[in-house]
Amino acid sequence: MNATGLNSTDHIGVLPFTPVYAPNAFFLSIFTILLVVQLILTYFFWRSYGYAIGMLGGLLLELLGYAAKLMLSQDRKNKNGYIMYIIGLTLGPTFLSASLYLGLKTLQQHYNFARFWYIGPKVFAALLILGDFISLAFIGVGGSLAAIYAEDPIGVNLMIAGLATQVLFTTIFGGVLATIFRKTRWKLRHDKTRFFMLGGLVAAICLLIRSIWRVFELSEGFNGPLTSKEGVFIALDSIPMVIMSVLITTLHPRLWFHENQHSISRVKDGFWIVCRV
């Protein structure tokens, strides 16, 4: 890894290290494949448009973020590449988490024992997504300000507030799903739904790891001591987000709760056609 320290003031538009090409090219390839898979799923399960919007938006932003890192590996002073890097890899997980929350809504719609108190599945999901929207607003505005006003810390502070909000609501989601799993682990011991819940829990843990890391990373500004540690970024952001993205792609609600053999066969045929191309 090539790292170059900067002793000047907080240059938001200049990356304080040169990204390594190979691992970022690998992650770009993974997110490109996942995006293609999600497009196929969206074609066959277009009625689940809310889930599709979150997945497609999140995967596209992750893809753009790693494409930007490849640009920065050639020229770390590339302003456009840096803005793409900030926006893509910071906003992408927020879209993906919305799809994760919608998976919980589907679970609660199909199993009454997965519900809490008098809060319906749609209301519960709406509350989680509202938190996601607040996080998105903070991160989006903060990222824009950070890219434009290099000397003003307000942009970074807003992004940290957005990430902290994401940590809070992801913790709530994980706690709810863990509670449902604990209550139903014997009742569903022969039902594949338990794997759906376990996958959701692992995805939530990956999101928590990534969000907590980003809060610490940005606490010293965009050119703080943690931002140049690309190996740590890969371990605590890139890998968790790949795991989360793979999981929530395979946890598409229509594959788990709307099983109809004709639709599943059509999806398999679609993948086969793409692979042959």
Report residue 54 CA to chain centroid gap: 9
Residue 122 CB coordination number (10 Å): 11
pLDDT at 266: 52
Q: Which of 167, 166, 202 is nearest to 181 (CA)?
A: 202
Tell me 116's DSSP state.
B
Q: Is 206 exposed, middle or buried (0-12, 13-18, 19+ CB in 10 A)?
A: buried
Residue 105, pLDDT score: 87
> CA 52 to CA 114: how far, in whole Å?
23
Secondary structure element (H or E) that encloses residue 211, with its range: helix 193-218
pLDDT of residue 63: 97
Q: Which amino acid is at 103?
A: G
Structure-token pair, residue 186: 């014997």
- Read off the tokens for 1: 């890894």
User: In the prediction, which pLDDT does 46 show?
Assistant: 85
Long-range contacts: 140-145, Cβ < 8 Å, 24+?
Answer: 140/87, 140/91, 143/86, 143/87, 143/90, 143/91, 144/87
Q: How many CB atoms lie within 10 A of CB 262?
A: 6
CA distance linking residue 18 with residue 155, whole number of Å: 23
Helices of type H across 16-118:
21-44, 49-74, 79-110
Confidence (pLDDT) at 155: 82
Round to whole Å and give the CA distance between 161 and 213. Answer: 13
DSSP 132-159: HHHHHHHHHHHHHHHHH-TT-THHHHHH
Rounded Cα distance, 223 and 217, in Å: 9
pLDDT along the chain (277 residues), means of 10: 43 75 97 97 90 96 97 89 89 94 86 75 88 91 76 82 93 89 74 86 95 88 79 95 96 78 49 48
Nearest residue to 14 via CA among 169, 146, 139, 122: 146
- CB-based contact 201:178 (threshold 8 Å): yes
User: In CATH, what number does 12-276 get?
Assistant: 1.20.1070
Domain boundaries, the chain: 12-276
